[in-house]
Amino acid sequence: MHIAETGSALREILKNAPRPVVLVPTMGAFHPGHLSLMRRAREIAGPDGTVVVSIFVNPIQFDRASDLAAYPRPMASDLAACESAGVDLAFTPAADSMYFADRSVTVSETLLSRGLCGAARPGHFDGVCTVVLKLFLLTGCDASVFGEKDFQQLAVIRRMVRDLDVPVEIIPCPTIREADGLAMSSRNSRLTPEQRADAPRIRRALLAAAGLTSPAEIIASATASIEASPLSRIDYLSLVDAETLQPVTSLDRPSVLATAVFYGEVRLIDHVSIPKTSA
């Protein structure tokens, strides 16, 4: 497996790389969910293509300095995981090699990113779009794999690719969960044992609410179930259109019930899909 620490080194390695080139953008601290993305990328690339994994804790997508500082960075074990998953090239840049000190261009999406995590974390999706477009350009990838757990991120990246005519196919992969239903996340390791034991209530609350018949009931049920714990604090809980991510007042189109919940300083996200239930 090759390792590149700068954009120029990355491009040099990829100059004559076998196609297709499939990119998995990550911030490291790998869990089985990340490995599922790498395995999917390997399937898409086939035995002769090239799988690239970027490991970069992107500073411009963090809205809280404490969250950036606390983000885990186990580079040695991450690189070993890449190799075991059949990755051909790991890209591990430092922040100062990705961004000029006087950078003045940012990529912004202005509709799908307004609500949910975008409302709670100003500037977050500007940072996501900017770094992902840079990674697409640096790698010249043919396809890129994203997890559905960050469903708003997936929708925003798809919109960026559509609106800017970026020639990259976006491949979604299902959320990978712990045995008790908690969505796998690098942030789970920062939960206390008591918080970790309580956190599966997020998934249970969303699933129970998704079986109700009106938006008001859905929101009220999920809110009550999550707030029943003294350990949890809701950042947002919203019912939105599955395509536009705008709030809905009826279930005449497929929708998504999404939430972000704090346990102490740890912010966890999850969502469930709700099918159309009326004409």
CA distance 145 to 37: 6
Residue 62 CB contacts under 8 Å (≥ 6 apart), including other chains: 68, 71, 124, 127
CA distance 204 to 200: 7
Sequence ranges of the chain with CATH classification 3.30.1300.10 = 186-272
3-state secondary structure string across 207-245: HHHHCCCCHHHHHHHHHHHHHCCCCEEEEEEEEEECCCC
Q: Where would I find the beta strands (DSSP E) of 5-118?
A: 21-26, 50-55, 89-91
Cβ atoms 23, 169 nearer than 8 A? no
* Tens-place pLDDT, residues 83-103: 999 999 999 999 999 999 999
Three-class DSSP category at 72: coil
Sequence ranges of the chain with CATH classification 3.40.50.620 = 2-173
CA distance 275 to 271: 13
**Can you list the residues of the chain whose pLDDT is less than 50?**
none
| Topology annotation, domain 186-272 | Pantoate--beta-alanine Ligase; Chain: A,domain 2 (3.30.1300)
Three-class DSSP category at 83: helix
CA distance 151 to 272: 10
For the purposes of burial, counting CB atoms within 10 Å of the CB of 277, is it exposed (0-12), middle (13-18) or buried (19 or more)? middle
CATH code for the part of the protein at 2-173? 3.40.50.620
* Tens-place pLDDT, residues 247-272: 999 999 999 999 999 999 999 999 99
Active-site amino acid positions: 34
